[in-house]
Amino acid sequence: MMQNPLLADFDTAYQTAPFTKIKNKHFEIAFAEAIEMAKAEIDAIANSKEAPTFENTLEALEFSGEKLDRISSVFFNLNSAETNEEIQKIAQKISPILTEFSNDIILNEALFKRVKSVFENKETFDLNTEQHTLLEKKYKSFVRNGAHLNATKKEKLREIDKELAKLSLQFGENILAETNAYELHIEKEADLAGLPDGAKEATKMLAKEKGKKGWLITLDYPSYVPFMTYAENRTLRKKLAIAFGKRGFQNNALDNQNIVLNIVKLRYQRANLLGYKTHAHFVLEERMAENPEKVESFLNDLLVKAKPAAKLEFEQIGELAKKEGIDQLQKWDGAFYSEKLKKQLFNLDDELLKPYFQLENVLQGAFTVANRLYDLNFEEILTIDKYHDDVKTYKVTNNEGGFIAIFYADFFPRAGKRNGAWMTSYKNQWKKNNENSRPHISIVCNFTKPTETKPSLLTFNEVTTLFHEFGHALHGMLANTTYPSLSGTHVYWDFVELPSQVFENWCYEKDALSLFAKHYKTGEIIPMELVEKIKKSANFLEGMATLRQLSFGLLDMAWHGKNPTAITNVKNYEKDAFKGTELYPDVAENCMSTAFSHIFQGGYSSGYYSYKWAEVLDADAFEAFKENGIFDKETASRFKDNILSQGGTEKPMVLYKKFRGKEPSAEALLKRAGLLK
């Protein structure tokens, strides 16, 4: 019988996942067996005759289920980046089983009794800071997930969790299917007026790939965004925008309205069951923000400061549109006229910048900045197995040649990949038996593919996206903790965006840009006048951008910070939540919530505010770099030692103050955003 590659030890270079050997048929068998192995490990801990200690209970628990973790990370990462119907079916089947298993652990009374005993006697164990944190987190996670409930309530909790696991998967599958199903087929070249040559070529290539004549626009960002930004045909922009905005909202088999209502109601029931007022109260207890009231006041405070600026900017765009005979600016006009205004004000547009941002050079730029700051070196290695030809693989070392991490980069859209950009890991970092086991980190994006005549050239927005995800990757790569559940990006959710957002700042700095922004044909370094324009335009429409982020954060809180039981109409409820932040007229056919994957499929429920929250941290943190020089080794090393390498070993504010010497101030953010009057 063939050995199941998922159950064998990975005997590959650096123990990376053997993707080419893994077939879909291997997953269910591997999951079933790995769950049994993990159960046996848990039973051994729970039923041990020895008195509970930190080592035989907490540490043993932390390192249990290692095989299951690896299999899960391979499987669920593939389900996001390279899925197909078969994988989706397995996901639907396996998710409730995994939820059931994690509930078996959390609701195991004998196990909780041992954890509780260590927790109550913690003074008698000589624990260091990281051990203290692990004990506190594990104990809390038992309590917060039902360890104190009676048998009937525990059963109810299990049902809710199983149902939620299925619903969020279904939500994501529906969005992917609707994104893939839509195509705008253009047969008259005149309908592409305004579209830059590169974008035109990409749309032609897409049509050719699908065996069609003419040009094809899809709802994938690299196809959708250029069309919305440059196409002069307003009717087609409207058509495309409405198609994008009604994903999950078409009363068809892929509709997400009931799924949204079911998810929020189940989350609310779950929170109540556990003694919390709402899902947001439950979630925020373990965040820097602490409670929904604090989040709402944070968002509303920013709203007061951003709204006047946003209104002015909106009027400015509106004035420009009026000159072209458009009385009322609509959502499908926003990107188009914003781009025109940007060109007018700064004589700058993406088409002018793109030749300087060839994907390979930008990636190399991120590597160089990481080297200058943190002494990391990236070497492409071709001997590592990958799940798709597009993926690039790198070995990361320090200046002494010591092995730091494996890094995967996956940049182009395809049918099996969901939209957006994210960082993930295939293996955590940890320390055990005197070995520092290093992580395998991946970033996944959806950038413009190379065409027959041009390499992949990025918009400036894509450049900052790459740096953003790479900032998360650094958090994962530089992890240096003992326990996997405290390693890398395993931190409070409103702290996790600090490393990613702070790294974006280098994209605006002349000293950094001159390292990688080179013309793809001539090799000429980006002219300083363009760098100045990038800097000057950094705050362009910042009021509107802030308002947009705040509207998403407020919508998230509306769904999760209140009792949702009486809500029957997703669209009406959403409209109400958006009231204070709306600039454009509402589009009846569109709904944001039914495609709001961050909160209904990803882990951002009650956490969308954290992008803005972390912006306060990142603006304040980058001030330290600016004060001492953006490549200052001492500042970089303080950031690495206190934040990047520490994971979740201490409370975020403690770590931040160790780096900065003080709490962050929102002034830095308002100053950077040009919102300080």
Q: Summarize pLDDT for 448-460 with one digit per residue, the tens.
A: 899 989 999 999 9
SS (H, E, C) 82-144: CCCHHHHHHHHHHHHHHHHHHHHHHCCHHHHHHHHHHHHCHHHCCCCHHHHHHHHHHHHHHHH
C-alpha distances in angstroms, 180 versus 171, 185, 202?
Answer: 15, 14, 17
C-alpha distances in angstroms, 151 versus 127, 147, 155, 516, 584?
Answer: 34, 10, 6, 60, 51
Q: For this structure, is 509 an active site residue?
A: no
C-alpha distances in angstroms, 513 versus 206, 463, 471, 474, 530?
Answer: 32, 11, 16, 19, 11
Element (H, E) at 593: none
d(CA 219, CA 236): 13
- 656 pLDDT more than 90: yes
Give pLDDT tens digits for 557-608: 999 999 999 999 999 999 999 999 999 999 999 999 999 999 999 889 999 9
Give pLDDT tens digits for 22-45: 999 999 999 999 999 999 999 999
Rounded mean pLDDT of 118-127?
A: 97
| Domains of the chain, CATH where assigned | 13-148 (1.20.1050.40), 182-245 (no CATH)
The amino acid at 453 = T
What pLDDT does 350 receive? 86
Q: How large a percentage of the chain has pLDDT more than 90?
A: 95
What pLDDT does 665 receive? 84
What pLDDT does 608 receive? 96
- 672 pLDDT more than 90: no
Residue 415 corresponds to which tokens in the numbers above?
């049918």
d(CA 307, CA 186): 38
What pLDDT does 677 receive? 62
Q: Is residue 214 helix, strand or coil? A: coil
Q: How far apart are the first and last CA of the chain?
A: 72
The pLDDT mean for the chain works out to 96
Give pLDDT tens digits for 376-422: 999 999 999 999 999 999 999 999 999 999 999 999 999 999 999 99
Task: Quickly state the pLDDT bin for 18 (edges 50, 70, 90).
Answer: very high
d(CA 336, CA 193): 12
Rounded mean pLDDT of 424-452?
A: 96
What pLDDT does 631 receive? 98
Rounded mean pLDDT of 608-634?
A: 95
Of the candidates 255, 257, 227, 262, the one whose C-alpha atom is nearest the C-alpha of residue 241 is: 227
- 430 pLDDT more than 90: yes
d(CA 62, CA 55): 10
What pLDDT does 134 receive? 98
Q: How large a percentage of the chain has pLDDT more than 70?
A: 100
What's the count of helices (H) and strands (E) in the chain, helices before strands?
A: 27, 9
- 2 pLDDT more than 70: no
Which segments of 478-609 does DSSP mark as H helices, in order? Answer: 497-504, 510-516, 528-536, 542-560, 570-578, 597-600
609, 295 Cβ separation under 8 angstroms: yes
Rounded mean pLDDT of 40-62?
A: 98
Cα-based angle 595, 599, 600 (whole degrees, multiple of 5): 60
What pLDDT does 302 receive? 92
SS3 content of the chain, % helix, strand, coil (to 5): 60, 5, 35
What pLDDT does 666 receive? 81
Catalytic residue selected from 313, 462, 469, 542: 469
What pLDDT does 668 receive? 84
